[in-house]
């Protein structure tokens, strides 16, 4: 058990002005009050409030909070009274203890109405003074750490409550270490087998990779130092629970589990964050689509950091979080990282007796807006709805027209909704009404939305949906449906190609003749033949010969290249580009990207389907002598509902803040950064290879114009694929 002087020393080590006499008094008072009480573990009861206080010293909380932690159970569990505590310790501490006492007996997992009322009380008590919340969370953390002493039935209930209420609450307040530990212990109690499986796999991976953690740490540090950046690099293994969540989300099996290490790079300044990013992206290959700039665009709970993934030393996929010490403090400790006003300086808060943390905290603003809701409404059901919905920030709750509740992860759209109701509904869904109004299927759903799915039996889900859905259920159903549809699509594509060749001879497609021609070529059916043409495995001119059309006719495809500005060739139908996905015969060439509104052509590649190129792509020259491979394509109107990649070459001044300006501008323009890589670095300028995801060419031009206007950005051009 921690000694009295140790606790006091801990507090004075970060707060030299702490009231030592008061802390000593609280220690002795609580120890005496709990007397010979024991915990389920057999330890003296006082070890519990003492450990809670110790957890809070790790968060460097003020003396009043530490005293309140020592005293948090005395009113409920001993002879002590609030009046006595007020007399001995003053109003500030007694109010904290009162808040903690009020919420002590709340049973959050109970009947709906009582649950609503309890949650209301809990949040009310916590939101008057954020320190009540911090003590309550530390209390829960210690109870979780000692959960194995509790009887199994009770254990599961506490673990579930922790996972449902306290862990999300800690997360919402930005306290990630706390959330992680709460979740992990609850996970162990609720799903011991799943956790064991993950731990075993981790052990195996650890044995396989040896001392790789330290090794990568060193390589990262060296690389940064070589570029003049002082950084503290630390690697760590991810927690079982977060791995499990990822497996659930991405439908991964244990065997597929590979990137289990995360590295944190702490640098001195915001500018250094971007410099470090530049170094990492120059030294190692970037994993596309994993770059996130939460420095320019902080999360709702104030979280700021840069995230990226590279193929790092030892060819290991390495997740990097780049941030400053201050950003790291906020990320780990959330609201607890803010110091607290001794006197509420916000007049409105003072009036309501609310204690605000110092500085600008989004999390606390959220808590305060809850208090205002509490003051206004007194319908507990309504309150529960709005609060739980807010609390579970990573979920949205929507309804069917009949009122059934469908819970989905945040970001989910109507397609996810349809699949969550039933696979058949997802597969046949063609449109939706959200709250009675027609809306695009990709619309991100909000809490409380009523979603009506419009169906058509003729529908097969487009493969591109796989990219836009957020739930594993929808993704796997789409993949299944797509496999069947892909063959049909290749066949359809093959037929388009054959029909266009036939059109040159003023002939039309005839299934019987085509089937016979296929037999001559040793292909068993017309359908297989068309699919083979579509996949590029069977050359169109061989088919034409087998059909009896000899000789060459002028191929209109050749004109595609010559007439760069022409809209469409007369008489030759172009193939509409629908979804673009790796399961489909269509792929967009990565060296340039292509976006709706840009003139495009397709090149048939045997076994790969069609690769889409913008007409200005330098790569097209390679195919000049192979007219049969050219396919005229046009964007389908549906294209507007997805995002498409466009690769840019950007030259920026080698100055502090340039990368930040770049990423901020792209984010402000409503586009995503799919990839960002420094290619060359000179003294004054450096080149950046940037792939953005945009809606169409107009959107792209807007972004390019905005970028070009920035003082630290020198030039922005579309990549042509020639370099």
Residues that bind Mn ion (CB under 5 A): 73, 139
Q: What angle do CA 568, 573, 575 make, to 5 degrees?
A: 95
Least distance between Mn ion and beta carbon 146 (Å): 11
**Beta-strand pair 317-324/261-267:** parallel
**Beta-strand pair 630-635/575-577:** parallel
Which residue, 73 or 674, has its beta carbon nearer to Mn ion?
Answer: 73
C-alpha 339: how far from chain center: 29
Least distance between Mn ion and beta carbon 4 (Å): 19
Of how many residues is the chain composed? Answer: 723
Least distance between Mn ion and beta carbon 139 (Å): 4
Least distance between Mn ion and beta carbon 121 (Å): 17
CA distance 330 to 588: 40
CA distance 723 to 720: 8
Active site residue 542: no
631: closest CA among 608, 607, 605? 605
C-alpha 55: how far from chain center: 29
The counts of H helices and E strands in the chain are 30, 20
Rg (CA), the chain: 31
- Widest pairwise Cα distance in the chain: 106
Which residue, 73 or 92, has its beta carbon nearer to Mn ion?
Answer: 73
94: closest CA among 107, 85, 81? 85
Which residue, 139 or 695, has its beta carbon nearer to Mn ion?
Answer: 139
Which residue, 139 or 270, has its beta carbon nearer to Mn ion?
Answer: 139
Cα dihedral value 529, 533, 534, 540, nearest 10: -140
Which residue, 13 or 41, has its beta carbon nearer to Mn ion?
Answer: 41
The CA distances from residue 354 to 50, 67, 350, 371, in Å, are 27, 19, 6, 9
Least distance between Mn ion and beta carbon 136 (Å): 9
Buried/exposed 259-281: b ≥16 CB within 10 Å, e otherwise: ebbbbbbbbeebbbbbbbbbbbb
The CA distances from residue 491 to 64, 338, 464, 518, 633, in Å, are 74, 62, 18, 13, 17
Which residue, 96 or 543, has its beta carbon nearer to Mn ion?
Answer: 96
The CA distances from residue 347 to 141, 178, 352, 371, 541, in Å, are 34, 31, 9, 15, 82
Least distance between Mn ion and beta carbon 47 (Å): 11
CA distance 249 to 238: 16
Which residue, 48 or 292, has its beta carbon nearer to Mn ion?
Answer: 48
340: closest CA among 319, 324, 355, 321? 355
Q: What angle do CA 48, 54, 59 make, to 5 degrees?
A: 135
DSSP secondary structure letters along 431-474? EEEETTEEE-TTPBP-TT-BEEEEE-TT----TTHHHH---HHH
Q: Starting at the edge strand that comes first in sequence, how are the strands of the sheet with 644-653 ordered?
A: 672-681, 685-694, 644-653, 713-718
For the stretch 25-30, contacts whose Cβ atoms lie closer than 8 Å and that sit 24 or more positions apart, written own/partner, are: 25/88, 25/89, 26/66, 26/67, 26/70, 26/71, 26/89, 26/93, 27/70, 28/4, 29/70, 29/71, 29/74, 29/80, 29/88, 30/70, 30/71, 30/74
Least distance between Mn ion and beta carbon 135 (Å): 9
Contact 120, 387 (CB under 8 A): yes
Q: Is 323 left (phi over 0), alpha (psi -120 to 50) or beta?
A: beta
List % helix, strand, coil for the chain (3-state, nearest 5): 50, 15, 30
Least distance between Mn ion and beta carbon 419 (Å): 43
What token pair was written down for 525? 């059916």
Residue 309, H or E segment:
strand 306-311
Least distance between Mn ion and beta carbon 354 (Å): 24
Catalytic residue among 15, 43, 77, 559: 77
Which residue, 42 or 347, has its beta carbon nearer to Mn ion?
Answer: 42
Which residue, 73 or 293, has its beta carbon nearer to Mn ion?
Answer: 73
Least distance between Mn ion and beta carbon 118 (Å): 17
Which residue, 139 or 217, has its beta carbon nearer to Mn ion?
Answer: 139
Contact 548, 520 (CB under 8 A): no
Which residue, 108 or 287, has its beta carbon nearer to Mn ion?
Answer: 108
Least distance between Mn ion and beta carbon 291 (Å): 43
Nearest-CB residue for Mn ion? 139
Which residue, 94 or 363, has its beta carbon nearer to Mn ion?
Answer: 94
Least distance between Mn ion and beta carbon 73 (Å): 5
Catalytic residue among 76, 237, 394, 542: 76
Least distance between Mn ion and beta carbon 335 (Å): 20
Active site residue 382: no
Q: Is 609 left (phi over 0), alpha (psi -120 to 50) or beta?
A: left
**Going by C-beta distance under 8 Å and a sequence separation of 6 or more, which residues neighbour residue 62?**
15, 18, 131, 339, 340
For the stretch 23-29, contacts whose Cβ atoms lie closer than 8 Å and that sit 24 or more positions apart, written own/partner, are: 23/63, 23/66, 23/67, 25/88, 25/89, 26/66, 26/67, 26/70, 26/71, 26/89, 26/93, 27/70, 28/4, 29/70, 29/71, 29/74, 29/80, 29/88
Which residue, 73 or 180, has its beta carbon nearer to Mn ion?
Answer: 73
Looking at the DSSP assignment, which residues form a beta bridge with residue 631?
602
**Which residue numbers are catalytic?**
76-77
């Amino acid at each position: 058990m921690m000694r009295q002087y140790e606790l006091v020393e801990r507090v004075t080590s970060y707060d030299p002005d702490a009231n030592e006499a008061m802390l000593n008094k609280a220690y002795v008072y609580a120890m005496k009050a709990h007397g010979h009480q024991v915990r389920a573990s057999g330890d003296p009861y006082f070890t519990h409030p003492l450990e809670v206080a110790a957890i809070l010293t790790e968060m460097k909380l003020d003396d009043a909070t530490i005293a309140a932690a020592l005293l948090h159970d005395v009113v409920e569990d001993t002879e002590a009274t609030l009046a006595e505590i007020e007399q001995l310790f003053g109003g500030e501490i007694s109010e904290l203890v009162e808040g903690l006492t009020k919420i002590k007996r709340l049973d959050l997992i109970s009947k709906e109405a009582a649950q609503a009322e309890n949650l209301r009380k809990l949040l009310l008590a916590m939101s008057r003074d954020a320190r009540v919340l911090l003590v309550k969370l530390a209390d829960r953390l210690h109870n979780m750490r000692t959960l194995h002493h509790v009887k199994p039935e009770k254990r599961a209930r506490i673990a579930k409550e922790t996972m449902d209420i306290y862990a999300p609450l800690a997360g919402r307040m930005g306290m990630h270490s706390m959330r992680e530990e709460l979740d992990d212990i609850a996970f162990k109690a609720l799903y011991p087998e799943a956790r064991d499986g993950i731990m075993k796999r981790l052990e195996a991976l650890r044995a396989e990779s040896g001392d790789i953690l330290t090794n990568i740490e060193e390589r990262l540090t060296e690389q940064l130092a070589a570029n003049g950046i002082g950084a503290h690099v630390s690697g760590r293994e991810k927690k079982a629970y977060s791995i499990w969540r990822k497996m659930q989300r991405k439908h991964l099996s244990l065997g597929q589990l590979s990137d289990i290490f995360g590295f944190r790079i702490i640098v001195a300044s915001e500018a250094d964050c971007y410099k470090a990013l530049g170094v990492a992206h120059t030294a190692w290959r970037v994993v596309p689509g994993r770059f996130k700039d939460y420095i320019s665009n902080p999360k709702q709970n104030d979280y700021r950091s840069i995230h990226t993934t590279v193929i790092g030393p030892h060819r290991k996929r390495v997740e990097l979080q780049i941030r400053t010490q201050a950003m790291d403090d906020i990320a780990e400790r959330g609201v607890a990282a803010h110091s607290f006003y001794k006197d509420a300086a916000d007049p409105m808060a003072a009036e309501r007796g609310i204690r605000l943390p110092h500085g600008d905290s989004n999390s606390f603003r959220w808590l305060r807006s809850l208090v205002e809701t509490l003051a206004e409404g007194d319908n507990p059901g309504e309150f529960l709805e709005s609060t739980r919905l807010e609390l579970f920030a990573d979920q949205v709750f929507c309804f069917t027209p009949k009122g059934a509740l469908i819970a989905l992860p945040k970001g989910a759209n109507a397609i996810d909704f349809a699949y969550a109701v039933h696979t058949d509904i997802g597969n046949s869904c063609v449109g939706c009404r959200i709250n009675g109004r027609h809306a695009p299927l990709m619309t991100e759903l909000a809490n409380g939305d009523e979603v009506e799915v419009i169906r058509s039996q003729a529908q097969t889900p487009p493969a591109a949906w796989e990219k836009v859905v957020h739930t594993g259920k929808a993704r796997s159903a789409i993949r299944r449906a797509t496999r069947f549809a892909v063959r049909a699509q290749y066949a359809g594509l093959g037929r388009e190609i054959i029909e266009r060749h036939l059109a040159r001879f003023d002939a039309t497609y005839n299934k019987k003749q085509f089937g016979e021609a296929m037999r001559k070529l040793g292909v068993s059916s017309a359908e297989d033949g068309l699919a083979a043409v579509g996949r590029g495995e069977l050359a169109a001119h061989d088919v034409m010969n087998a059909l009896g059309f000899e000789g060459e006719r002028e191929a209109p495809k050749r004109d595609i290249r010559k007439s760069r500005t022409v809209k469409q060739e007369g008489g030759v139908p172009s193939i509409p580009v629908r979804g673009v996905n790796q399961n489909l015969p269509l792929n967009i060439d990565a060296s340039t990207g292509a976006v709706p509104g840009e003139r495009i052509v397709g090149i048939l590649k045997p076994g790969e389907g069609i690769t889409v190129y913008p007409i200005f792509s330098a790569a097209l020259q390679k195919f000049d002598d192979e007219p049969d491979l050219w396919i005229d394509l046009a964007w389908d109107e549906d294209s507007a509902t997805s995002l498409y990649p466009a690769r840019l070459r950007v030259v920026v001044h080698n100055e502090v803040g340039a990368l930040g300006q770049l990423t901020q501008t792209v984010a402000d323009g409503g586009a995503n950064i799919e990839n960002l890589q420094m290619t060359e670095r000179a003294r004054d300028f450096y080149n950046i290879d940037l792939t953005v995801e945009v809606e169409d060419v107009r959107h792209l031009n807007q972004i390019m114009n905005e970028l070009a206007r920035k003082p630290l950005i020198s030039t922005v051009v579309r990549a042509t694929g020639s370099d």
